[in-house]
Structure 1
Amino acid sequence: MATKTNGFGIKRDFDGMLNAQLPKSFGSSSCSFHHKESRNDPSLESLVDSLFNKQFIIDNTNFKIPESKTIFTENPWIVPELLTIKAELNDVKNKLNDYDLAEWHQHTRRRNKAGDVQWRLKKEIDPEFLTQAWSKFYENASVFPLIPKIAIQTKKMVSVHLCEAPGAFVTSLNHWLKLNAPSVEWDWVATTLNPYYEGNPNSCMISDDRFIISSLDHWCFGTDYTGNLMSFKNMENLVGIARKKGDVLLVTADGSIDCTNDPGEQESIVAPLQFCEAVTALKLLSTHGSLLLKMFTIFEHQSLCLVYFLSCLFEKVFINKPVTSKEGNSETYLVCLDYRGQAFAGAHLDVLTDCYEKRTNKSMFCQRDLPEDFVQQMISCGQFFKNYQSKVILNNIESYHCGGDKGHLDNEVKRIKYLVANKFIAEYRLKKLNGENSEVVGKTKLGCIHTINSDSRIPNGSYNERRLVDSLDPSCRLLALCNDMNLIELCATTQWFTFSGTLDEINVNCGKGFSKVESSKFCMGKFLKIRNTVYDILDILGIDLPGGEVKTIQDYISKVARDIKNYKHLWFKQSSLVDHYQTINKLSETLKNVGKGESLVLIGYSLLTQLNVGILYILAHTFKSLGLILNEQFGCLIILECNLFNQSILRFVEEIHKATIEAKVAGESVLAVLPIFKLYESDLYASIVNANHWSIKHYLSNISNYVQNK
């Protein structure tokens, strides 16, 4: 039987482990073409094999969980050897501080040895919703028996996916099951920061929501609609929903937090989230279940304690860096197999659950309670992954300054990329599925969804350049941001819409209120980020811009809409603050005074939130037509022309108003009144996005003029 020995002298019987728990159709294989192509260059063959072999086994034979009464009682502690490794790694990372991130990412993508895997999968396998996350999950599931033996035997499994946006772990698991365990009856639940909750920052989310909106019934955003897993009530809500589906035998947790502004402390920044993910998984999993948890470095006491705790609760634990994980980052996956069960976790899990939201600064375990053997294993593990990451970064720097990829080095990289893609497809026996009926949602449906999914997560400029911009005098920074916006070309348009169909029902959603729009599915993230930053600077400078003259706007309306004889207008002051209660209250009261045949003009009405857009969509069904007018002088004006006095629509408005009052009493807020997919499908959608971009640019232009004139 084949065995492999890693760099730490630990023998691994992967073939035996896999064959013991997976169907006979699943196992290692070789690609004849790969062998043929690499036979003449053993060094390349050896290198390619090593890229698929970045794993560390934790020997947990003699591990014992510390007494529960000692949990979170000791002050933070350090392991000097690990902090030395951390400092050495950060010294290498710091060499990147002056590189433009976009250029650097383009360079490292070209040199990524697994860079051909994605397009080869797209070309030859055509998976549903293919992303890098898809490849990473498939690799983890193929190298380790993540799908437990009990699931294959009972032919039933429920999986739960934490921090799952945009959803590729789900489609990857589906593909794996269809090829390797097609008889398993599978159901799933996923959670992530809700992309439709405008209080969640863009920097914490992935903008692509095509899969989410196509499978909303499987997504749980918690009791407060935020999707924040670090909320205890949301965690309990998720556990309750998942358990009703059956035995949870797989939990994946792919969460992270944006560390762009402090990359050297990534591990500490992400640690509270990883703690919540792990506790949630332990409460979800049935005995013999598996956990796949994204980790980064394991230098600090938080990570050491968490990894040790999990090593005590699972029969086998591995740390794996998939070949498709970006070579130059610290990402790894903790693979935990065969859960010993909640009864085994006992009082420890109860104590950790009690500490779920406390965010204590104490260490989970006392340093003396972690065996020296475990600490030494972590030092060896940290050194191995640090050496690998540092070597990749330094090689990329060298090639960057040599003018990129030229000559022999370029040919070698291309050759390696080709061989890695060959090996990936052959080793994991990847094949096409039998049509879209085998997929979760279907590529056709995903391809028909038109939403804003193009925001780059890579910030502009280098790390040091961004720090320099942040240190500018507020006034200079304000004008620089306004000038950036002025460089973006947008067209002022006037568009009219008529909604002749009926609106059968509304769907009022309540949750945690927010005071500032941090994200929006009706505006590109870069526009919103500039807007919010400018508002923050205005607060620092104590500037409050004067509003426009109502009389001037009234004169303008009479010119552009001459057939509007009688109308009411409703003014909303431009502000960074959100008050859904006031907005709905003002609309409801004003509508009572708009008679049949009269019109309503909304000035300064925000179209950034799902709630406001939904209300406008509803109102459009009781007026003859809706006009969106973008004007150089006034920004965006909304004209609801000729009230048809539709009683059912007016009842909907009253229902929303009543729900708003009740939500306020309960300490919540009404956040949505129509399903998001209905708004996406509306003819209004593209025009609202354009109107938001125009309004932000118009407002910032006014700010720039006002500040310069002062």
Structure 2
Amino acid sequence: MGSKEDIFGKKRHLNEMSNAELPKAFTSSNRNHWQKRSRSDKAFEPLVESLFKKQFLIENDNFIIPKPETMFTDNPWDINRLQILKRELNDIKNKLNDYDIATWHQHTSRRNRAGDVQWRLRNEIDPEFLTQAWCKFYENVSCFPLVPNTAVKAEKLLSVHLCEAPGAFITSLNHWLRLNAPNVQWDWTAMTLNPYYEGNPLSCMINDDRFIISSLNQWCFGSDYTGNLMNLKNMMNLVEKCQEKGDVLLVTADGSIDCTNDPGEQESTVAPLHYCEAVTGLLLLSEHGSLLLKMFTIFEHDSLCLVYLISCLFHQVFINKPATSKEGNSEIYLVCLDYRGPSYIAPYLNILKKYYEKRPDKSMFRKEDIPDEFFQQMISCGEFFKAYQSEVILKNIEAYHCGEDNGQLDFETKKIKRLVANKFISTYGLRKLENESLEVVGKTKLTHIHSINLDPRIPDGSYNRRRVMENLEPECLLLTLCQNLIPIQVREMTRWFTFTGPLDALQICCGKLFLKVQSSKFCTGKFLKIRNRVFELSEKLGIDHPCSQVESIRNFVNVLESDTKNYKYLGFEPSITQNNNSSLSKINKELENILEGDSLVLIGYSLLTQLNVGILYILAHTFKSLGVILDEKFGCIIILKHNLHTKSILECFKEVLNATIKAEASGESVLSVLPVTKLCESDLYPNIVDANHWTIAHCVKGIGECVQKKLSTQMGITGHS
């Protein structure tokens, strides 16, 4: 084992060699005012250079994978020095527990020395679907030959992107290929948690679906439609589909799990996902392929074993923290180059698949089967990244308590930001693409997509405050949630829609059964989370939801409409559980009895799922008009006016009902009946979103009033006694 300086020296040498093999990028000859250098810039050059050299080479010439029969037989073990590093890093992270996370995020974003890169790229390069992930991938693909030379020479590349939402790695790769390997014929497939599967929790997803909905044919959501890569059947479904296309030469995996409620155990929390991503990559890749895997710290046996396995299977493995990766977090990327090939992993596939879904209580490898040289390298690597992250966090804390940065520091930070952005653009030879036809989807199309699911992922308040909230008494927590509901900016209204022309052909999609709507294309995440939490607490407290007041609604509709003698009323009780079969049977029974010319009023009908919205869309085609009424007293009322008794539409409804019964018998559920693109392009879409927000506010308000009344009664009884 050489000295740390020797390791870094060799790593830099190999990195330079890797870069030398890349196709030359053409840089713009235009020099704008951002590229002008002053004498004082030279003083910052070493610092700027260091931001782009946070890399570590794993020397893996003599590593051998232990025999399959020895795997997952040893109890969990640890490396003492790495556990010390973990505790030291967590001690520093714990200093942030009382800070409001949104305010802290804003503060660190302002001080982020690569913070101007996105702004400059947006103004000068105008990439398609630019995000921080776009920048991080562009750095990785520019610094290392992630696109293998075999793909460049063959002018053909098939890539697979795991846990990819919202899709910026894909648009970033496209931009790099257009500039650096324009002759390469590129095809791609991606898998991520399906933003249209309402059983997927919002906490596990980035629910910006603008790119996904525009490129749906390229996405694989697995055999159960969830997009959950940690399901073995879904993974094998993806592998089979990709292998039909040809040799996969690049796999990227950018997954994570929300760890805001237990930040000190981020590595252990995310370890099962990293295992699944790595195993999937090893099954997908052809010989000489590349793998890019996001990880965090490498302190625990799970991560150490995984990195060792990967180091045995690739000729070169680097650990890289891009300059555009936020400095104070633990994010790193494993850059794995030149895969030795499927034959090397074949003897281990059965054991790797065995523990794919269920995390074992054993270590992948016995400690004594991993060479000490590897552990020494991981200690050096851990010390390097831990020292860097700790220094950044402590400096950010110091600046935070100083209030506004002093003038000199502010001047220096601005100058460094400018120099980092200059270096990013010039070093990686970034240019604007000539036209949108060279983009994957196109910026124009992306900007015109209805997308209400752009909730901020940063939680409210500090870590300690969130812990206090969760420990409140159920009644107090429920009332607090009710008060936190942002006032809905929707006025009382009545809107009518007419659907003419034939109904689009049904596309019935079945998948995994879910009982609770945890995400929705028809409601912002914040409102849905509050709704679900309030419903859970009200059930726990035994509080009945306010009744639907059917008789009062009859009178309301009677006043609203001049003739209500032919109106039928169908009520649905609000509930946190979803029973598709029951709702459909209820509607079908009413349709069988309704006469031509009759109208149907739906009270409490949920519009949170693709299935229910699709059913409403079908029903609207057999009535003259559809009315959506938002009322302060009654919530949302839907009126289907004047039944046309269209035979083809009724047959469509029967087809959906039969499919639902069949799916239920096989343990699945009908998830949608029309393409989500059709539902979201409809003029009805923004009104359904308004209706859901209004309904949630109305329902939560009613539950809150019941709780308040219950507490007042209890206090009155206590005071009297």
TM over 0.5: yes
Number of residue equivalences:
707
Tell me which amino acid in the other structure corresponds to 2:619: L
1:663 lines up with 2:663 in the alignment: yes
Partner of 2:18: 18
TM, length-normalised to structure 1 = 0.97
Partner of 1:285: 285
CA distance in 2, matches of 1:20, 1:421: 22
Partner of 2:165: 165
Question: Aligned with 1:12: secondary structure?
Answer: helix
CA distance in 2, matches of 1:19, 1:535: 56
CA distance in 2, matches of 1:98, 1:544: 37
Is the Cα contact below 8 Å between 2:19 and 2:145 reproduced in 1? no
Is the Cα contact below 8 Å between 1:31 and 1:426 reproduced in 2? no
TM, length-normalised to structure 2 = 0.95
Partner of 2:506: 506
Is the Cα contact below 8 Å between 2:546 and 2:703 reproduced in 1? no
Partner of 2:713: none
* Superimposed CA distance per residue, residues 445-485 of structure 1 (whole angstroms, 9 cap, x where no aligned partner): 11110121320101111111111111111101111111222
Is the Cα contact below 8 Å between 1:128 and 1:443 reproduced in 2? yes
Partner of 1:584: 584
Structure 1 residues 88 and 104: alpha-carbon distance in aligned structure 2, compared to 1, 3 A threshold: same
Deviation at 1:16, TM superposition (A): 4.8
* Superimposed CA distance per residue, residues 291-313 of structure 1 (whole angstroms, 9 cap, x where no aligned partner): 00000000000000000000000
Partner of 2:421: 421
* Superimposed CA distance per residue, residues 612-634 of structure 1 (whole angstroms, 9 cap, x where no aligned partner): 01110111111111111111221
* Superimposed CA distance per residue, residues 558-593 of structure 1 (whole angstroms, 9 cap, x where no aligned partner): 112223330211111110000111111211221111
What are the within-5 Å matches in structure 2 for residues 191-590 of structure 1? 191-485=191-485, 487-590=487-590
What are the within-5 Å matches in structure 2 for residues 4-43 of structure 1? 8-14=8-14, 16-18=16-18, 21-25=21-25, 37=37, 39-43=39-43
Partner of 1:609: 609
1:619 lines up with 2:619 in the alignment: yes
Partner of 2:718: none
Structure 1 residues 35 and 640: alpha-carbon distance in aligned structure 2, compared to 1, 3 A threshold: closer
CA distance in 2, matches of 1:459, 1:562: 49
* Superimposed CA distance per residue, residues 108-130 of structure 1 (whole angstroms, 9 cap, x where no aligned partner): 11100000000110111111111
**Stretch of structure 1 that moved more, 492-501 or 314-323:** 492-501
**Stretch of structure 1 that moved more, 376-385 or 579-588:** 579-588
Is the Cα contact below 8 Å between 1:19 and 1:26 reproduced in 2? no
Tell me which amino acid in the other structure corresponds to 1:323: A
CA distance in 2, matches of 1:591, 1:5: 78
CA distance in 2, matches of 1:583, 1:42: 70
Is the Cα contact below 8 Å between 2:19 and 2:142 reproduced in 1? no
What are the within-5 Å matches in structure 2 for residues 595-606 of structure 1? 595-606=595-606
CA distance in 2, matches of 1:418, 1:199: 44
**Stretch of structure 1 that moved more, 40-49 or 215-224:** 40-49
Tell me which amino acid in the other structure corresponds to 1:273: L
Deviation at 1:501, TM superposition (A): 2.5
Question: Aligned with 2:496: secondary structure?
Answer: strand
CA distance in 2, matches of 1:262, 1:631: 42
What are the within-5 Å matches in structure 2 for residues 616-655 of structure 1? 616-655=616-655
Structure 1 residues 460 and 335: alpha-carbon distance in aligned structure 2, compared to 1, 3 A threshold: same
Structure 1 residues 28 and 49: alpha-carbon distance in aligned structure 2, compared to 1, 3 A threshold: farther
* Superimposed CA distance per residue, residues 309-343 of structure 1 (whole angstroms, 9 cap, x where no aligned partner): 00000000000000000011000000000000110
Structure 1 residues 133 and 345: alpha-carbon distance in aligned structure 2, compared to 1, 3 A threshold: same
Structure 1 residues 546 and 114: alpha-carbon distance in aligned structure 2, compared to 1, 3 A threshold: closer
CA distance in 1, matches of 2:388, 2:31: 27
Structure 1 residues 526 and 108: alpha-carbon distance in aligned structure 2, compared to 1, 3 A threshold: same
Is the Cα contact below 8 Å between 1:606 and 1:612 reproduced in 2? yes
Partner of 1:107: 107
Is the Cα contact below 8 Å between 1:5 and 1:11 reproduced in 2? no
Structure 1 residues 123 and 70: alpha-carbon distance in aligned structure 2, compared to 1, 3 A threshold: same
Partner of 1:92: 92
Question: Aligned with 2:316: secondary structure?
Answer: strand
**Stretch of structure 1 that moved more, 481-490 or 158-167:** 481-490
Question: Aligned with 1:161: secondary structure?
Answer: strand
**Stretch of structure 1 that moved more, 483-492 or 202-211:** 483-492
Is the Cα contact below 8 Å between 1:34 and 1:423 reproduced in 2? no
Partner of 2:174: 174
Deviation at 1:709, TM superposition (A): 1.6
Question: Aligned with 1:244: secondary structure?
Answer: helix
Structure 1 residues 20 and 406: alpha-carbon distance in aligned structure 2, compared to 1, 3 A threshold: closer
Structure 1 residues 544 and 432: alpha-carbon distance in aligned structure 2, compared to 1, 3 A threshold: same
Question: Aligned with 2:593: secondary structure?
Answer: coil
CA distance in 2, matches of 1:89, 1:34: 37
Structure 1 residues 583 and 616: alpha-carbon distance in aligned structure 2, compared to 1, 3 A threshold: same
Is the Cα contact below 8 Å between 1:21 and 1:148 reproduced in 2? no
**Stretch of structure 1 that moved more, 31-40 or 18-27:** 31-40
Deviation at 1:405, TM superposition (A): 2.6
CA distance in 1, matches of 2:333, 2:30: 25
Structure 1 residues 327 and 30: alpha-carbon distance in aligned structure 2, compared to 1, 3 A threshold: farther
CA distance in 1, matches of 2:478, 2:17: 60
Structure 1 residues 26 and 249: alpha-carbon distance in aligned structure 2, compared to 1, 3 A threshold: farther
Tell me which amino acid in the other structure corresponds to 2:224: D
Partner of 2:148: 148
Tell me which amino acid in the other structure corresponds to 1:466: R
CA distance in 2, matches of 1:47, 1:137: 22
CA distance in 2, matches of 1:59, 1:599: 74
Q: Percent identity?
A: 64
Tell me which amino acid in the other structure corresponds to 2:473: D
Structure 1 residues 38 and 364: alpha-carbon distance in aligned structure 2, compared to 1, 3 A threshold: farther
Structure 1 residues 204 and 38: alpha-carbon distance in aligned structure 2, compared to 1, 3 A threshold: farther
Question: Aligned with 1:388: secondary structure?
Answer: helix
Structure 1 residues 697 and 19: alpha-carbon distance in aligned structure 2, compared to 1, 3 A threshold: closer
1:686 lines up with 2:686 in the alignment: yes
Give the gaps of 5 or more residues in structure 2.
711-721
**Stretch of structure 1 that moved more, 586-595 or 137-146:** 586-595
* Superimposed CA distance per residue, residues 197-252 of structure 1 (whole angstroms, 9 cap, x where no aligned partner): 00001111112101000000000001111000000110011001111111100000
Structure 1 residues 214 and 11: alpha-carbon distance in aligned structure 2, compared to 1, 3 A threshold: closer
Is the Cα contact below 8 Å between 2:66 and 2:369 reproduced in 1? yes
Is the Cα contact below 8 Å between 2:488 and 2:693 reproduced in 1? no
What are the within-5 Å matches in structure 2 for residues 56-67 of structure 1? 56-67=56-67
Question: Aligned with 1:669: secondary structure?
Answer: strand
Deviation at 1:35, TM superposition (A): 8.5
Partner of 1:117: 117
CA RMSD of the aligned region, Å? 1.9
